[in-house]
Amino acid sequence: MMSKAILEHILDGSIVIDSVEVFGSVVKEFPEHPELLKLFADFLIAKGKGPSAVQHYSKASEIFFGQGRHLHAMVAKMLEWRLDRPSRKTLLRFLSAVSVHPHDENSVNRFLQSLLPAELMALFSQFSCHRFPSGKTIRNIGEPETHLWFVLAGELKESYYQLIGHKPKFNKQRLQQRTCRLLGQNHVFGDVFPFTEICISQGVIETTTYTEVIAISRRRLIQVCQKFPKVELGIMKLLQIRSETGADSPSGKVRRGERYAMQVNMTVEIHPSGVPGPAVVLNGSAIDLSISGVSFIPETNGTGPPAKLASLIKDLGHQRVRVAISSEALSMSIPGQIMRTRELVVNGSRTLSLGIQFDKVSPRVSGAFLAFAEGTGNFDKATNETGQD
C-alpha cells in the first residue's frame, strides 16, 4: 500500500508520473482524495483522454463540495463542463446549490454564495489554471496588473518595497522591503481596480511552496463587472479583506507616486475603427509615464476649452492608438489603447487627459525606456497639478 508521504510528493510536484496506468493505480488507492482526482483529470487531458477526465473532475467537484470547499468545487466543475457541456437544468441545479450549501466560512466562499447562478457562470466560465514551483515570481514591480488570481493550494509571499535614494534604479541595491504578507489557499490577489486606470504592480509576488492558482483576465473581469455590478463589489470587498488581514498595501498615492512624472512631448495617432476618414492626430505631452501606459494631455490646437476638445475625440474610448515619443535621448513608437478620458486642472486651467495603456513591449524597449526615465531624474509624485489624488 502506498504511503501518504508519497501521495503528498505527487501532489506537490516532487514526484511526476507519466503513465496513465501507474497514475490510475494511485487513484485507486486514494479514491476519495479530491486534489488527486483533479490532478489525474488534468493529466488525462494532457494525454488526450478527455472523456475519462470528465468523470474524475465530476467526482472531485462532488467531494470538494461535500467538504464545503466551494471555490475548488467550482473550478473542478467548470473544467468538467468544458469537456462535457451540461444541460441548463444541470447547470442551474449545481450553481443554485452553491448559494445554500454549508461551507467553511472563508471570505471566498461567502463571496460565491452571494452571487446568482448567472453571475457565477459569467465570472468562472473563463479562467486559466496554473501550477508553479517554489521560488517562482508571478508578478514583479512595474508590471501591469493583468489578472485576478485565486489560490487553490500552496503559499505565496507578497512583498512591497520602497525606493531609496534620489535617482531610483530598478535593482535590489536601490529597493528596501517595506511590508510583506503570506497568501494561502482561498486568498485572492491582483490589484485590478480601478478599471478606468492603468494598474501597475507596486510589489512582488513569489511562491514559497509548490502552488496552484487560477487566473481571470482583467479584460474578462471588466466585461463581467459591467454586466453584473454585484460581482465588482464582491471582488473589491475580497481584496479589501486581504489588505486588512495582512500588512497595509500601498495607497493610490503611492501607486501614482511611483510612476515617472516627467514632461515628455509626444504624438498620438488614432485610427477610429468603423469610422471612415483620416486618422485623428494629437500632439501633446505626458504627465504620468510608465512602461505600461501614459496620461496624455493633448494640445488644444485652437479647439478651445475642454468641451470642444472632448467633442473632437468623442467616441474614441477603447480605440487603438500609436504613441510616438521623441526626444534627444529617446525615440520610439508604441501601440496601445485608450482606456479613459478625464478632465483635470493644469497650471490653473481646465484641460483633458487621455489614459492610454500600452501593449506589452519587448525587454529591449523596456530597458531603453527605463534608462531614459532614470536619466531625467524626475521620478517623483505625479501630483497635485494634475488634479489627481
Query: Quick one: 243 and 266 in the same domain?
Result: no
Same domain, 246 and 263: no
**Do residue 152 and residue 217 come from a single domain?**
yes
Write down the pLDDT at residue 388: 34
List the single range of 133-137, 202-206, 278-282 with lowest mean pLDDT.
278-282
**175-223 pLDDT, tens per residue?**
555 678 899 999 999 989 888 788 888 889 999 999 999 999 999 999 9
**Residue 111 resides in a domain:** no
Q: Give the domain-ending residue among 203, 221, 250.
A: 250
Residue 373 belongs to domain with CATH number: 2.40.10.220
Single out the residue in 218, 250, 282 at which a domain terminates.
Answer: 250
Domain membership flag for residue 118: no
pLDDT at 280 over 90: no
The number of distinct structural domains making up the chain is: 3
Phi, psi of 284 (to 5 degrees): 175, -155
Most confident of 126-140, 187-201, 365-379: 126-140
Question: What amino acid is encoded at 187 in this protein?
Answer: H
221 and 244 co-located in one domain? yes
Residues 53 and 30 in one domain: yes
Neighbours of 220 (CB within 10 A): 17
Higher pLDDT, 127 or 319: 127
The answer to whether residues 265 and 367 belong to one domain is yes
The predicted model gives 63-69 an average pLDDT of: 94
92 and 206 belong to one structural domain: no
Q: Tell me: the pLDDT tens digits for 324-342? A: 887 665 678 888 888 777 7
Q: What is the mean pLDDT of residues 149-170?
A: 74
Judge whether residue 344 has pLDDT over 70. Answer: no
Q: What is the CATH number of the domain that holds 11?
A: 1.25.40
Is the confidence at residue 166, as pLDDT, over 50?
no
Residue with cell 487553490: 152
**Is the model's pLDDT at 141 over the cut of 50?**
yes
Instruction: Tell me, yes or no, whether 120 lies in a domain.
Output: no
pLDDT category of residue 105 using cuts at 50, 70 and 90: confident
Q: Which of 113-117, 309-313, 356-360: highest mean pLDDT?
A: 113-117
The mean pLDDT of 54-74, rounded to a whole number, is 96
Q: Are residues 245 and 314 in the same domain?
A: no
- pLDDT band at residue 348 using 50, 70 and 90 as cut-offs: low
315 lies in a domain?
A: yes
**pLDDT score of 311:** 63
Q: Which three cell numbers stand for residue 143?
A: 508590471
pLDDT bucket at 147, cuts 50 / 70 / 90: very high
Which one is predicted more confidently, 234 or 288? 234
Residue 112 domain flag: no
pLDDT at residue 142, rounded to an integer: 83
Range(s) of the domain holding residue 57: 4-103
164 shares a domain with 53: no
Q: What is the per-residue pLDDT for 379?
A: 38
Who wins on pLDDT, 28 or 142?
28
Q: Is residue 203 part of a domain?
A: yes
27-36, 116-125, 245-254, 373-382: segment of lowest average pLDDT: 245-254
Average pLDDT, the chain: 80
Q: What is the pLDDT of residue 380?
A: 39
Is 368 within the bounds of a domain? yes
Specify the pLDDT at position 202: 80
Does residue 73 have a pLDDT over 80? yes
Residues 167, 199 share a domain: yes
In this prediction, residue 114 carries a pLDDT of: 93
Final residue of a domain: which of 226, 250, 274? Answer: 250
Domain-located, residue 116:
no
User: What CATH number is associated with residue 147?
Assistant: 2.60.120.10
Whether residues 245 and 301 share a domain: the answer is no
Residues 244 and 280 occupy one common structural domain = no
User: Cell 478620458 appears where?
Assistant: 341
Confidence band (pLDDT; 50, 70, 90) for 16? Answer: very high
Does residue 99 carry a pLDDT above 50?
A: yes
- Cα–Cα distances in angstroms (integers) from residue 346 to residues 50, 88, 130, 254, 388, in the given order: 59, 55, 45, 21, 11
Q: In the structure, what pLDDT confidence band is assigned to residue 172 with cuts at 50, 70 and 90? A: very low
